[in-house]
Structures are given as C-alpha cells and as structure tokens.
Structure 1
Amino acid sequence: MTQISAPSATPLAALGWSETFEAQLTPEETALAPMRIATVHRSRVTALSPSGAIKLNLFAHASTTDFAVGDWVLVDPETNTITRRLERSSLLRRRTEGTRAPQLIAANIDTLFIVTSCNADFNPARLERYLALANEAGTTPVIVLTKADMAEDTAGYQTRAAALQRGLAVLTLNAKDIDSAAALAPWCAPGQTVALVGSSGVGKSTLLNTLAAKDDATAQPTSGIREDDAKGRHTTTSRSLHAIKGGGLAIDTPGMRSLHVSDVGAGLDKLFSEIAELAPECRFRDCTHAHEPGCAIQAAVAAGVLDPDRLERWRKLDTENRDNTPVAVGARGNKTIKKPRQKR
C-alpha cells in the first residue's frame, strides 16, 4: 500500500499553498477546505490537509483519472467530497502508446529531479525526452546523477548531461548519503514541491528516503539493478506525495519503461535552443534541415558548431512529436481535432 507522509500539523503554506491558488477562491467557497492530492488509485483518491491524510469522495461524474498527485482541490469538510480542482501552476504528463488521453504524472511541481545513474543507465536521448516534458510542463529540470560512489569517473557523466540544455543544473551524488543529498536543498525549501522521475533502479526511492529521513518502517521499498545491463526492477508502483527535510514536498513516481513525446513543441525548442535559434536563418521557411540549399543548420554541422548526433536526436523527437500531437483541422469556426495516428 502506498504510504502518505506529512507532519502532524502542517499549515497550508508548507503543503505548497500560495497566492496563485488563493486567488482562485470565490467568496462562496470560504467554507470549503483546500487539500492537496497525495495519492491517486484506480478507485480512490487521498489528500493531505493541515490535520493529516484524508480519503476523499469524488463529485458526480468525476473520475480518478481527472486528478494528478500534487493537485489542489476544494473539499466539503462535512462529507470529504471534492467540489472542484483548482487550476494548476504546472502539469507533467505523458502520452503512452495506444492511448488517446495523456497520462497525468504530477501537478503543481516547482522542480523536476530527473534521476539517472553513473553507469549503463545513462542515456542522453532518454534524458532529452524527460527534459522536453519538464520544459513543456513549466517546471525547472535538474539532472541528478546517482551511484557516484560506484563510478570511477563521474566528471564525464556530468559534462555530457550539462551539454543537453543551456543553463541545466546537474548534480552528482550518492543517494544514500545524507550530506551528499543535501546538495539538493536549494530546491527543497519550505513550500516547494519536487518530483522524481527516471528509470527503475537508478535510486529514486533511495533518494526520497534520504531526503525525507525515513526510517525502516516508513521507507519506500528499494531494489538493486542487474549487473549485466544496469536495468532495475520496479519498486515504486504508484505516485505519492511526501514531506521532506527542509520543509518541501516530493512526489515519487514509478520507473517509466517507455516515454513517448507529444504536445511538447515549446519544450523541444527550449531543449534544442541552438537549433531553434538557427532555423530562421535558413533560406526556406519550410526547411527540413536535411538537404535543402541555404540550410543554416546543415552549415553549422559542416562548420563543426553543431553536433550531428544532436541534430539527429532532435529530428527523431520532432518527428515523433508531430506524429503524436493532435491538431485542429477544418474550416474556421468549424474545426475538429485530428487525433494522433494509431500505430499498428
């Protein structure tokens, strides 16, 4: 069963409540209780309030899939029924293959810790997918390189990670070491919310246990990795909200086996800013940056300014995003949404 952790008497501000959410309240809603979604299961939702964890009831026609861990909701204190969800300041979501609606991962997060390890799990192409999602969600990405104590040379991993996006913060640490994990303190201040994402076995749950100072009885379960390919087993099976040292909160997430991109055009532009900035200099507005004359992108590759592998990864993600993103088609005033094509 997913554990919910919170101080015994936590004020709303410590749960992440801010003026952004306060401003959404109407005079008629002053008697309702703001609460923050802590877990979302198939048939039930729980939330954190200043008095602790509470199981909530849904309003008519609502589904648990309408809510994400981290959402703020207004609750009737007499019936513990959700009356409405407040508008989100950020939303991390992904589209899974074969589904039409995106899967909600976490809401109202300030920082996304993208956790990977200094071993065979380190994969720049996969990290770029996480970065695109973080950028589109409106949250600050931070790459956390774990298992530093087991690697001979961590500097190479840190250099490669930092090169993935301008201004990207990259930290190398041992997730089990309290002093090492303290490097994350700037993002874990009171009222701040972080989410942890990454593959299974990279140390997300271990890092959460360290950040939250959990004992053996309350710790999130962890498991090792296979030595031959550094792949891990799923230990976190659902998303959950936890109080952490420093006064912040953290959302733990299961390892993701696949990470498809859609609706992340702005996120890709920020991730590949060097390409987005050069594109307007191409001779043709619809340049594919593959073979057209006067292509500024190809010129940059030829001059050694742009990494061709980086361009190829951009091309793959850009194509996937275009294929998976619904678009409005039809005459003005009578547009319909063309859904992403289904793969067979």
Structure 2
Amino acid sequence: MTTDLKSLGWTAHFSRQAELIDEQHPVRVSAVHRSRLDGFSAKGDVSLSPTESAGVYAVGDWVIATGAAASGPLERTTEITRRAAGEESKPQLIAANVDTLGIVTSCNADFNVARLERYLAMCAASGCLPLVILTKADHCDDPQSYVRQAEKLSPLLSAVAINATDDEDVKRVNAWCSNGQTLALVGSSGVGKTTIQNRLTGIADTTQDIREDDAKGRHTTTNRNLRPTLAGGWLIDTPGMRELRLVDATEGVDEVFSDITELATQCKFNDCAHITEPGCAVRAAIDAGDLDADRLERWRKLEKENRFNTATVGENRAHMKRMQKMYDNGAEKGRFKRR
C-alpha cells in the first residue's frame, strides 16, 4: 500500500528528528516480529531488519529505513505501556504514536468501573486521549446510562454506545480514526474489538461471540497490527488483556483521581493517609457525601500497585545493567568470550 507521509501520521515532531540522506526514507511500523518489522511508507509496504532487539519497537513507531535495515524508533509522541504479564519484571510496549485510546467494554456485566479507571490511568500516563466504546448497545434498555457512568470518570473522556455489528452505527467512531489519526483499541477478550476493527477497516478477521452466561468472550486477536481505516486514519487492535498491571503511571493515576489528589492538598498534614487523621479533607468529603468511599479504596489500590510495579521494574533494570557491566568487564579481561 502506498500513501503519503502526512496521511501515515508523519508530523513535524518526527521530521525534526530525521536528516534523510541517499536512500533513507521514513517507515511507520505496522507489525513487529521476532526478526523483522513490517511497515508502511510513501514507497509502499516494506519489510525491514531491525538494528535493535524486537522488544524496543512498538506497532505505530516511526523508523528510518536505509535499504532493508531499520533504525531504532524515533522519539514517540505517545507510548502505551504496561507491566509484562506473568512474573516478568519489565515494561511491555503495547503501541506508540497513538492519538486516541479506545477502551472497549460492553453494556452488560463486562462494564466495570474499577477496570475502566485502570485503563484510564494507563491512557493518561501514555499521553493519549481516552475514548470509551460501549458495545452491545442493541442488547440494553438504557445504553446511555452506561455512557453517563463512563463520562463521570474523567472530564477528558468521550464515550459512545454502539451496536458493533451495525456498519452505520460503528461509523460514529470514525471521528477518532480519520485524517491520519491513529486509534488503538484495548479491552477484555470478546467485547467486540475485532468486530469494530472489521467495520472500521473493511478487513474481515475471525470473531467469536461473547458468552451470554458471564458476558465474557474468547481471545481472537493474537498480535498487534496497524491497519488503514476506511475513514482515512489508522487503527491498532490489540489482544484481549487478561491482566493490566500499571507501571510508571503515577501521573496517570493522579489525573484519573484528580478529585482525590486535589482534596489531599487541603489536608492538615502533608503525609495524611486519609484514615483517621484530624483535619483530613478527603475523609470530610466522604462524610459529606461528596466523595465515594469505594473510589478512595480504588485509588489506594492502583496507587499502591503502580508504586510496587514501578519499583520492581526499576530494580530489574538496575540488575540487568549490573549484569551487563560485569559481562563487559569480564569480556575485556578475557574471562568470557563474546558471541
């Protein structure tokens, strides 16, 4: 596919980083594989050999191609990251240079305020704008009630309730993936991300229905891809997340819970834990009915989790640097053989 750089999302932010010479040209990464990168460019589709490890790149990145070799990623405008699933203590890149993060959930039992706050914190930390896409609107008596619940969570948030199987209804999402803008979709498995993708892009991927007994679905998307939309923008679909663990998201948590963080500045003591301390503005707001006690507990949980994950990832990074330094020193002294 051939398209101009502006339509691909190329801006002055990226052009300032690239002094192109000879056969060099910008490429936007559409898929990351173990030993190659697929991408779009003004010259057409390309497949490149990365000069750095695959984990350094994310779908949506911009790189500079020299022949069949790709440079490291140019500095990103936004970066969506979580702590890697399982026991690994490292961050995992989900997508880069995304304008809007579409958080997909359903107008049924899948709708969960705590989960939405978690996604919103990740979104705020990444620098993207948040969009909540509520599917199964056709199976709900009052889908706007879900829209109102979502919109209460952030003044920056937009929410739309749609029937994901209706082409015309899904077109309401076009505003966030047109004119070179990039929309990334995240959410639990089976909530309709792939169905939305199919209608926004015209590409038919396999979908599986949500189970009616628990409103959950089975995993259908297995990797991330950047795809052109029918509206002239870009879409990144992601695999369903069984767990979303925040990392390096302090600013994101503070933004999502700005009502609590602002109240905390009014507490009598700077180190107030908002439990039984005298002069606590947060507890006073709860007693007055202006703040939900459950929301305070959700804030505590995310703030504690983010601190732990960020510290753990930091410790792992420091350990890896120490190990690399030991290896390099040993190689210089002939103790180890470089491969």
TM-score, normalization: structure 2?
Answer: 0.89
Task: Give the structure with the larger helix fraction.
Answer: 2
- Counterpart residue number, 1:241: 226
Write the distance in 1 (CA, Å) between the matches of 2:33 and 2:139.
36
Q: Which moved more, 1:141-150 or 1:219-228?
A: 219-228
1:67 and 2:57 aligned:
yes
Cα deviations by residue, 1:22-49 (Å, 9 ceiling, x for unpaired): 11112x6464110011111233321112
User: Shift of residue 328 of structure 1?
Assistant: 11
Cα deviations by residue, 1:200-222 (Å, 9 ceiling, x for unpaired): 110001001111123xxxx1221
Aligned 1:130-141 pairs, distance under 5 A: 130-141=119-130
Q: Which moved more, 1:190-199 or 1:155-164?
A: 155-164
User: Shift of residue 121 of structure 1?
Assistant: 0.8
Aligned 1:1-344 pairs, distance under 5 A: 8-26=1-19, 29=21, 31-59=23-51, 62-77=52-67, 80-96=68-84, 97-214=86-203, 219-326=204-311
Query: Contact conserved, 2:61 with 2:96, CA < 8 A, in 1?
Result: yes
Cα deviations by residue, 1:39-97 (Å, 9 ceiling, x for unpaired): 112333211122332221122xx2111100000000113xx111332110000010034
Cα deviations by residue, 1:301-336 (Å, 9 ceiling, x for unpaired): 00000011111111111111111112899xxxxxx9
Contiguous gaps of at least 5 residues in structure 2:
321-339
Q: How many residues align?
A: 317
User: Shift of residue 156 of structure 1?
Assistant: 2.1
Instruction: Return closer, same or farther for 1:30/1:162 CA change in 2, 3 Å cut-off.
Output: farther
Runs of 4+ in 1 over 6 A off after TM superposition: none
Query: Contact conserved, 1:90 with 1:107, CA < 8 A, in 2?
Result: yes
Cα deviations by residue, 1:110-134 (Å, 9 ceiling, x for unpaired): 0000000111111111111110000
TM-score, normalization: structure 1?
Answer: 0.88
**SS of 1:208 mapped into structure 2:** helix
Contiguous gaps of at least 5 residues in structure 1:
1-7, 330-335, 340-344
CA-atom RMSD in angstroms: 1.9
- Counterpart residue number, 2:333: none
Write the distance in 2 (CA, Å) between the matches of 1:87 and 1:306.
39
AA matched with 2:81: R
Write the distance in 1 (CA, Å) between the matches of 2:313 and 2:206.
44
Q: Which moved more, 1:65-74 or 1:286-295?
A: 286-295
Instruction: Return closer, same or farther for 1:324/1:206 CA change in 2, 3 Å cut-off.
Output: same
